[in-house]
Amino acid sequence: MIKTDLLWVNVEAKVSNGCLKISGQDLGKAVEDYFGEDEYEYFYDFDRENTERLFELLGHEGQKVKDIFIQKFSGIDGCRYLREFCDANDIKYKFFSR
């Protein structure tokens, strides 16, 4: 979770049945200024094959994928970094927002 005066970002990731699921919620004045509402929710769904590919590319000897994931994709721009990484490595996912 990241909290500033204008923005509160909460993102959670979990693997279920070999598939990565990420859900996020942005709240606050910055969200209202950009979207016209003070809440923005978004979801990323990776199938098993693309979850495996993502984790394979992130894997480093001696480090847990979770720790690497947090290092590379946390912070206010973490989801953008994730999308850029996936696009650059042809990793497919479904995205939904509301």
Average pLDDT of the residues in 64-76: 87
What are the tens digits of pLDDT across the range 13-63?
999 999 999 999 999 999 999 999 999 999 999 999 999 999 999 887 777
| 5, 28, 68, 77, 96 from 73: Cα distances, Å | 22, 21, 8, 8, 18
Dump the DSSP string for 35-87. HSSSEEEEEEE--HHHHHHHHHHH-BTTB-HHHHHHHHH-STTHHHHHHHHHH
Domain that holds residue 20: 2-97
| Tokens, residue 68 | 């690497």
Q: What is the pLDDT of residue 63?
A: 78
Q: What is the pLDDT of residue 65?
A: 82
**Whether the predicted model's global pTM rises above the 0.75 cut:** yes
Count: domains in the chain: 1
Q: Are 82 and 48 in contact (CB under 8 A)?
A: no
| pLDDT confidence bin for 4, thresholds 50/70/90 | confident
Average pLDDT of the residues in 54-80: 86
Q: Are 9 and 76 in contact (CB under 8 A)?
A: yes
